[in-house]
Amino acid sequence: MRKSNFHFLDIERGDPPLIPMDERRGSFKEIHSEYQQDKAAVQAERCLDCGIPYCEWACPVHNYIPNWLELVAKGQIFRAAELCHETNSLPEVCGRICPHDRLCEGACTLNDGFGAVTIGSVEKHITDTAFALGWRPDLSKVKPTGKKVAIIGAGPAGLACADIMLRGGVKATVFDKYPEIGGLLNFGIPPFKLDKQVLDLRRKIFEEMGAEFRMNTTIGKDIMMEELLAEYDALFLGMGTYKYVDGALPGMDLNNVYMALPFLIGNINKVRGYDEGTEFINMENKRVIVLGGGDTAMDCNRTSIRQGARSVICCYRRNESDMAGSLKEVKNAREEGVIFRFNLQPTEILESAGGISVKFQYTGEEKQGKDSEEQIIEADAVILAFGFRPNPPEWLKEHKISIHEDGRVKVNDSHQTDNPKIFAAGDMVRGADLVVTAIADAREAGQQMINYIK
């Protein structure tokens, strides 16, 4: 029973406590401690249960947010977990890394002066608590169809598609080149945002549901596409975007200039003890410049801090309000010691006596009143974080799969490629986007695949 329709006036927004800054800056652990049930319930009770749930419509998977907030307030965690999984295949992931401030919490009615309901933290609390207490998806009423599909890519899109397949009685076998599931969830997003044990547990849960994972497997090398087409009733492509944008910046081939993705992957491999051939790039005691303003740039900023960088400067070509990434990630980076410089367009990377330097052109109003429209900043290392594009493998063309000029796979309204047996969704279709949009697209594609194979 809700205590009061005006509970939000008595209780302020309260996020889970942060670990101490000294520990936070020197550790790759997640920075937030866990909600206790009583705290989560109090925060959930702040929800107004609006007649029109703006939060729900701002969510790409359209989570039943007011409904599961009410269940948490009543202490009904298992029912809340069931409801979370009705719309989202990876709620424990989205609760951690979604840009809630730009999606559900940004649309919350209380965000206008009272502090939005802590939707993301409550979602994380629901799944973490339910899993710890032994809750698992109930597939006891699922009737096997005798059909089977191959899913190429164990990232968010592939996992979401597998979830829909299993719940529809279809056997799902997932192939991926990496040793663990998750794609960039595991090998790109740093552990201080997403503890990798979360993905280890999710793999176990999917396997209990009936999924088969074939890791360290590259299509076109370890197994051919022709074999998959012959063996399976349908195929799903969810290989994401791994081709990084370099911006064609002069001087990017100089020593100590790095791309964001190899830097992040090398760090995670070291933290997890993997030997995947990706070089570990150490920023200890270095002056680091990160170029970019999205979440990947924030990951590079905060990883450099934890490696012990002497200084980290993040330079973005537009205003702070124009940054593509999550506002909370910018806030976290700034608290941890990252210096932000805005309205600086990088034009060239140069060799200098002290190492390297970056030449910038002032943009926007900031250039007014400057003695020069250019600025040069010295550094020991530069990381380029300009985003990612699809990098479709050559074998796609051999199987009548059309591709846009920018590398995105072409699909129809049913997420079907020109080859009717092959479906695709996620970043390799949409272009680099959010984890939650990849999940939403892949769940829709999964339903269409079930319709097709039946």
**CA-CA-CA-CA torsion sign (282, 285, 291, 296):** positive
Q: Is the pLDDT of residue 364 over 90?
A: no
Contact 42, 106 (CB under 8 A): no
Kind of pairing between the strands at 381-384 and 374-379? unpaired
- Assess whether pLDDT exceeds 60 at residue 3: no
What percent of the chain stands above pLDDT 70?
A: 96
pLDDT for residue 313: 98
Q: What is the pLDDT of residues 176-229, one digit of tens each?
A: 999 999 999 998 999 999 999 999 999 999 999 999 999 999 999 999 999 999
**Are the beta carbons of 325 and 301 closer than 8 angstroms?**
no
Confidence of residue 1 (pLDDT cuts 50, 70, 90): very low
Domain spanning 244-387 has what CATH number? 3.50.50.60
Cβ atoms of 72 and 126 closer than 8 Å: yes
CA pair distance 97, 194, nearest whole angstrom:
7
pLDDT at 393: 87
pLDDT tens string 299-353: 999 999 999 999 999 999 999 988 887 889 999 999 999 999 999 999 999 998 7
Query: What pLDDT, in 10s, does the model give residues 242-273?
Result: 777 777 899 999 999 999 999 999 999 998 88
pLDDT at 390: 82
Q: What local confidence, expressed as pLDDT, does residue 384 receive?
A: 96
The mean per-residue pLDDT over the stretch 28-52 comes to: 92
Angle between helices 65-73 and 119-132 (to 10 degrees): 60
Cβ-based neighbour number of residue 229 at 10 Å: 16
Q: What is the CATH code for 148-241+390-453?
A: 3.50.50.60
Contact criterion met (CB below 8 Å) for 180 and 273: no
Structure tokens at 445: 């594609």
pLDDT digits (tens, 9 = 90+) for 138-185: 999 999 999 999 999 999 999 999 999 999 999 999 999 999 999 999
pLDDT in the model for residue 248: 83
pLDDT, one tens digit per residue, over 61-117 is 999 999 999 999 999 999 999 999 999 999 999 999 999 999 999 999 999 889 999
| R_g (Cα) of the chain, nearest Å | 23
Is the distance from CB of 238 to CB of 442 less than 8 angstroms?
A: yes
So what's the pLDDT on residue 371? 55
The pLDDT of 389-417, averaged and rounded, is 91
Which residue blocks in 48-118 are alpha helix, DSSP H? 54-58, 65-73, 77-87, 91-97, 104-107
pLDDT of 237 > 80? The answer is yes
Burial class (CB in 10 A: 0-12, 13-18, 19+), 273: exposed
Cα gap 291→430, rounded to integer Å: 24
- pLDDT band at 5, cuts 50/70/90? low
pLDDT band at 51 (very low <50, low <70, confident <90, very high): confident
Which residues, including other chains, have CB under 8 Å from residue 34's CB and lie 6 or more apart?
A: 16, 125, 128
> What is the pLDDT at residue 399?
87
Burial of 362 (0-12, 13-18, 19+ CB in 10 A): middle
Q: Rounded to an integer, what distance in angstroms lies between the CA atom of residue 105 and that of residue 83?
A: 19
DSSP 223: B
- pLDDT at residue 369 greater than cutoff 70: no
Nearest by Cα to 311 from 358, 256, 386, 378? 378
Alpha helices by DSSP H, listed for 218-326, are: 225-231, 260-272, 295-306
Look up the CATH architecture of domain 7-132: Orthogonal Bundle (1.10)
Lowest mean pLDDT among 49-53, 242-246, 406-410: 242-246
Domain with CATH 3.50.50.60 in the chain: 148-241+390-453, 244-387
Q: Is residue 284 over pLDDT 70?
A: yes
Task: Write down the pLDDT at residue 365.
Answer: 65
Phi/psi for 451 (5° steps) reads -60, -40
Distance between terminal CA atoms of the chain? 45
> ∠ CA(233), CA(235), CA(237), 5° rounding?
175
How far is the C-alpha of 117 from the C-alpha of 182, rounded, in Å?
28
